[in-house]
A and B are shown apart, each in its own frame.
Chain A
Amino acid sequence: MLNYIIRRLLFLPIVLLAVTFCIFLTTAFLSPYQMLSAYVDSPDELRRYRGNLDVLVEKYGLDEPFHVRYWSWLKKVVRGDLGYSESANMLVAEALSKRLPGTLELALFAVIPVVVGGVLLGQISAMHHNKPVDHGVRIFAIVGWSLPDFVFGLIFLMYFYGVLRWFPPGRLSVWADQIVFSSSFVRYTGLNTIDAILNGEWAVLWDALRHMVGPVITLAYLWWAFILRITRSSMLDVLNKDYVRTARAKGLPEGKVISRHVTRNAMIPVATVAGMMVIGLLGGVVIVETVFDFKGIGLLMAQGAQQLDYTLVLGTTLFFGMLLVVGNLVVDVLYAVIDPRVRLE
């Protein structure tokens, strides 16, 4: 097991380097002027030389061959300098650090209802294979999968906020913001829920949770069909295994057969998919963040893309790429923990 992890860790820098190269390759077709904001030391340089950008192109070597530009960019990236985002009006690294807590919090709170709900629906579906319940659950989930997220999000917002006033948009209410911005409130993580607990501000905690209900339910409904499908097919596969038949033949109650012998074994592919889904959530969920005014990385990236802010798109893609590589490693290690066959291989 340890050897497996060490092997993967040793391989990590090479993968990361390859990721940076692939991402940088996408900028090969851009003009040097469009890439300037990724290189400049200060955003003011861009403003001052806007009418004479050749000065900056020469200064930062953007007229040099591809490998020279890549090396120069990579050195900045290693120092944590991802350039300046004109659409966010701040450094890309700063924009990412400001938006990450929102996205991280949403991902953390979305993963449990998404996975538990999806698995539960998958179980029900598999256990009632080809019966009306199975069809009903699948139709319910497929409707969610088919429904555009902004439609579901807006309907949710209009009813549960516009009519019932239960679950408002944004990350915190105004009164809660006032507590969070006060000098007595210490920002430990940037995650409102965690910081509220650490500061003992229970009202802020409830408010933060209340603001997450809308985005989480929207995300959950959209993703349930995906998890359901994997759980259902995996369970149907396991239900036909010899050891399940043996368990039933031994006279074990059906509930125990399902929970101990079927669900546990059917969870292996689900764990992999769920792990990748969490990483996907960390990369930001554009539409949900937009509709619910939940200022996270997804919204940031969408704004950057809409405004052709190449430096921001490059920076966020790099961030997401890194996250994917590291997250993939974690999922693989967890997979090895769950399934001993992986370790043997």
Chain B
Amino acid sequence: MKPRLIAVIAIIAVLAAGSAYAASTDPNTFVFVTFGEVDSLDPAYCYDTASGEIIHQLYDNLIAYKGSSLDELIPMLATEVPSVENGLASADGTVFRFPIRKGVKFHSGHVLTPEDVEYSFERAMLVDPDGGPVWMFFEPLLGVFSLRDVVEMAGGDPNFEDASALSPEVVQKVYDLVDATVEVEGDSVVFKLANPYPPFLQILAKGGSWSSIVSKEWMTANGDWDGQPTSWPKWHNPAKEDMTLYSKANGTGPFKLNVWDTATGQVIFDRFDDYWQGAAKLERVVVKYVDEPSTRLLMIKTGDADAALIQAMYLDQVRGVEGIVVEERLPVIANTALIFNYSIPIEGNEDIVGSGQLDGKGIPSDFFNDLHVRRAFCMAFDYDTYINEVALGAGSKPVGPAPSSLPYVDATKPWYDFDLKAAAEEFKQAFDGELWEKGFQLTLLYNTGNDARKTAAEILEFGIEQINPKFKVDVRGMEWATYLDRLRSSALPVFFLGWHMDFPDVHNFYMPYLHSTGDFSGYCGDNMVAMAEQYFDDLIEAGIKTTDPEERAVIYSLLQKRAKDLAASMYYIDSQDQRVYRDWVKGFFYNPAYSANYDFYSVWKEVK
């Protein structure tokens, strides 16, 4: 027995000794543990924070925010920020000229040219993936919302199924329309807007992954659009896995992609030594995806992770721990909502909507098209418990679709309160009383790993099930990439999702939430689209077209009232953010415009 015991102890001791290799002691490698894997690395496709986190480190934009500021912009790949004063912006706000920096290298070794900048924006517009971020180019540059609208402008059928089937004339005309918006003039690139668009420069700024600059030559060599006027239909709205930049990257950013490994759940990127601003201090960054919160907590506590995504509900476990810095209550312009699909596709969703009928064993396709149901849901959620017990006070109760910290949002007009009696009254009126008699059964979805949303779903479940024993609610997680895929194809019946601002303007919330072509409302079924067209579209479009503050205030006040009256979605928290990292991490700064948790170029480690 004794020799065996000694052998076992010896093996354990030798293995334990290996802990000397812990990564945290390596001052050149940064480990960030988070949850929710990357959806795509293509800047034209990516419209989620998990993917944006990585793209932020690999690419550069024309301009950037200065440090934590949301107001002050500085040059990046452009050498100047256009303004009326420096003569690079027209007085009417419709022309912006960007002189392009010389001598900037891509990771592939190609040198940046103005043609690369033109190509990056035109490619994005011609690719225009469903549910992607490119509406932010169409709206200011062409006054429309998608390439389909441009096809219509060119005399084609906007409801085309296959862009390759469009006539050659339409194809050419579409290209011409897009091409005219971004032109190379000497060493500069000129953007020509359809109308004045106050937040246009912010759309181009670093933090917006969609405005990343790619290399035309490298893209063409790797099989992407070749820049020719007639060949773009082949690359329009492709499957995300078929896109050139789905799992590859070639930017001018401070880091170059090493590997995105789905088997071990991590993305690794290495320092780009030829970076035009000088090489980053960190040699390597590892972003690891660990769904289990207790494991993430242990990794930051032991120092195996330099930073970890810890949700507010777990912050008690890291506050006051020696060697850990907790930055709390960071102001973020973002909110989270339960979003209703007004025309749920039953086929393929039986596991979520049950029978698909109003029979107590499921919900019908138009369940959320009933105003009383939506209002009842909004009243059945215990906002205060969520904000105080789950978010631990890191956030506030919303007043509507846009966070109250933004201009033109009336913080004095309250949103719905938690009131189960009032919710019951609304439910009794839904479907002419039939819903109250028969009951319903449905599943609320959240993205796996997001325990705060899971708890929000459970709070709502508890509220609804108290109202009537015939009301049954389940809660289920879904992987982030799948969640987004289903969202983009309008197939999520009811789901939790947050919106982080693309640019600091109230329009950036009303547009995705309530415009008929918005990223949420546009994917919540035909009934929602019809409601948006009737009540919201005109106002939202008028709101961004005017620069008169008084006029904007009136418009957004009316929009806020209508959003509440119609209970368009259940907005339940205006978020605040937090960061948890080791005290050897230096150089961190917070900018609410960044979807990335960290700008790793500015960060370094001082390990004792």
A residues touching B (Cβ–Cβ < 8 Å)?
Answer: 31, 33-34, 36, 42-44, 46-48, 50-51, 53-54, 86-90, 98-99, 102, 154, 157-158, 161-162, 164-178, 181, 203, 206-207, 209-210, 213, 290-291, 293, 295, 303, 306-308
Contact = CB atoms under 8 A, between A and B. Distances in A.
A157 B298 contact: yes
Contacts of B242: 44
B292 A307 contact: no
Contacts of A213: 12, 15
Interface string B342-370: 00010111110000000000000000000
Nearest to B16: A166
A-B complex: 3 closest residue pairs judged by Cβ atoms: A44-B239, A50-B489, A174-B23
B527 interface: no
Of listed A33, A50, A86, A173, residue having the most chain B CB within 10 A? A50
Contacts of B479: 86-89, 303, 307
B295 A165 contact: no
Given A167-B15, A168-B302, A307-B448, 4 more contacts: A34-B350, A175-B23, A178-B284, A307-B479
B19 interface: yes
A181 B286 CA distance: 12
Of listed A102, A168, A206, residue having the most chain B CB within 10 A? A168
A44 B489 CA distance: 11
Interface in B238-252: 238-242
Contacts, number: 156
Contact of B18 (A89, A171, A206, A303): A206
Interface of B: 12, 14-16, 18-19, 21-23, 26, 29, 31, 37, 238-242, 258-259, 261-266, 268, 284, 286, 288, 290, 292, 294-295, 298-299, 301-302, 304, 345, 347-351, 448, 476-479, 481-482, 485-486, 488-491
A174 B489 contact: no
A173 B490 contact: no
A293 B491 contact: no
Nearest to A206: B18
B351 A308 contact: yes
Contact of A98 (B12, B263, B448): B263
Contacts of A306: 448, 476-477
Contacts of A174: 23, 26, 29, 31, 286, 288, 304
Contact of B19 (A42, A171, A210): A210
Contacts of B239: 42-44, 47
A87 B478 contact: yes
Nearest to A94: B262
A307 B478 contact: yes
B309 to A, nearest CB: 15
A88 B261 CA distance: 13
Contact of B21 (A31, A158, A207): A207
Given A33-B350, A166-B15, A178-B29, A50 B263 contact: no
B241 A173 contact: no
Nearest to B4: A120
Contact of B262 (A86, A90, A178): A90
A168 B295 CA distance: 9
A166 B488 CA distance: 44
Contact of B490 (A46, A51, A89, A209): A51
A298 B448 CA distance: 17
Nearest to B24: A174
B476 A166 contact: no
Contacts of B491: 50-51
Contact of B22 (A36, A90, A98, A165): A165
B264 A54 contact: no
Contact of B348 (A33, A166, A181): A33
B302 A34 contact: no
Given A181-B261, A295-B265, A162 B298 contact: yes
Contacts of A181: 258-259, 261, 268
Nearest to B349: A33
Contact of B298 (A99, A102, A169, A173): A169
A293 B351 contact: no
Contact of A86 (B29, B263, B482): B482
B388 to A, nearest CB: 27
Contacts of B31: 174
A44 B488 CA distance: 12
Given A165-B19, A181-B268, A173 B259 contact: no
A98 B478 contact: no
A50 B448 contact: no
Contact of B485 (A42, A47, A210): A47
27 contacts: A31-B347, A33-B347, A33-B350, A43-B239, A44-B239, A46-B485, A47-B485, A47-B489, A50-B348, A51-B491, A53-B348, A87-B479, A89-B262, A161-B298, A165-B19, A165-B302, A166-B16, A170-B288, A171-B264, A174-B288, A175-B23, A178-B29, A209-B18, A293-B295, A295-B263, A303-B479, A306-B476
Of listed B238, B295, B481, B489, residue having the most chain A CB within 10 A? B295
Contacts of B349: 33
Nearest to A203: B21
B268 A178 contact: yes
Contact of B292 (A53, A209, A293): A293
A243 B336 CA distance: 75
A173 B23 contact: yes
Nearest to A164: B16
Contact of B347 (A53, A102, A176, A209): A53
Contact of B15 (A51, A210, A303): A210
A67 to B, nearest CB: 23
Contacts of A178: 29, 268, 284
B304 A86 contact: no
B261 A210 contact: no
Contacts of B486: 50, 86
Contacts of B347: 31, 33, 53-54
Contacts of B489: 46-48, 50-51
Nearest to B237: A48
A338 to B, nearest CB: 24
A220 to B, nearest CB: 11
Contacts of B21: 173, 175-176, 203, 207
B345 A51 contact: yes
B12 to A, nearest CB: 7
Contacts of B476: 306-308
Nearest to B264: A295
Given A47-B239, A158-B298, A209 B350 contact: no
A181 to B, nearest CB: 5
A54 B286 CA distance: 43
Contacts of B294: 154, 157
Nearest to B443: A308
Of listed B14, B241, B286, B347, residue having the most chain A CB within 10 A? B347
A172 B345 CA distance: 43
B18 A210 contact: yes
Contacts of B26: 174-175
Contact of A89 (B14, B29, B259, B482): B482
Nearest to A171: B264
B259 to A, nearest CB: 5
Contacts of B345: 50-51, 53
Contacts of A164: 16
Of listed B14, B18, B241, B284, residue having the most chain A CB within 10 A? B18
Given A51-B490, A89-B481, A173 B304 contact: yes
Contacts of B295: 157, 169, 291, 293
A47 B129 CA distance: 12
Contacts of B240: 44
Contacts of A171: 264
Nearest to A217: B12
A207 B99 CA distance: 51
B490 A175 contact: no
Given A44-B242, A90-B262, A173-B23, A290 B292 contact: yes
Contacts of A42: 239
